Chains A and B, each alone.
Chain A
């Protein structure tokens, strides 16, 4: 099956610093990738949809200037949390969409990145 990797797996940073998270599709090309955030004991919350070669589409309530998304190639999307604060501590998960010949779209998830802001 399709494999999606994320780097780093976990990161601890000081408040006010920026953190970049990479999401790669290893054995397929993904024109669309998604970024999710998950707080403890809650479901996945979609943050933004990343389309290769164009600007990301952000969900309501997600600050585009704080969560910078770049999808420069068909296998790589990056999420940069700028000026991180403790409330940004969360589990960030990316996924890549694959369109099947049957017509349905399936998402493959990366392993997630645990961000802790001190």
Chain B
């Protein structure tokens, strides 16, 4: 079966750094997405990785290791507005998005 695992909830302090991990087992791989979702809103795109390595975009970075079936999202200089759910999603061989359950990130002052 297809499976994506990520922690259910994480807590971090404003100004700090947090890493959200995602492991996946899917039938084929055509890229991994990270989305941010605030409560009651639709997901918004954060990053896309299809090759191994680190992609940096401002305060957010995303890493992928295809051989390990592993990705992480790194958030630096955390702000209160970063409190949200972070969803990991993998595109399988049929280009269908397989979603993780999401990680709820709580930022404390």
Question: Which residue numbers of A lie inside 8 Å of B, CB to CB?
Answer: 34, 42-46, 49, 91, 93, 104-112, 114
Contact = CB atoms under 8 A, between A and B. Distances in A.
A93 B100 CA distance: 16
21 contacts: A34-B97, A43-B101, A44-B43, A44-B87, A91-B40, A93-B43, A104-B48, A104-B50, A105-B30, A105-B95, A106-B45, A106-B48, A107-B45, A107-B97, A108-B45, A109-B43, A111-B41, A111-B42, A112-B40, A112-B41, A114-B40
A104 B45 contact: no
Chain A residues touching B, majority SS = strand
A109 B42 contact: yes
A42 B101 contact: yes
B7 interface: no
A1 B102 CA distance: 24
Contacts of A106: 33, 45, 48
B87 A109 contact: no
Interface string B84-107: 000100010001110111100000
Contacts of B42: 93, 109-112
B44 interface: yes
A46 B97 CA distance: 9
A49 B94 CA distance: 12
Contacts of B102: 43
A109 B44 CA distance: 7
Contact of A43 (B50, B95, B100): B100
A32 to B, nearest CB: 9
Contacts of B50: 104
B36 to A, nearest CB: 11
Contacts of B100: 43
B42 to A, nearest CB: 4
A115 B74 CA distance: 34
A38 to B, nearest CB: 9
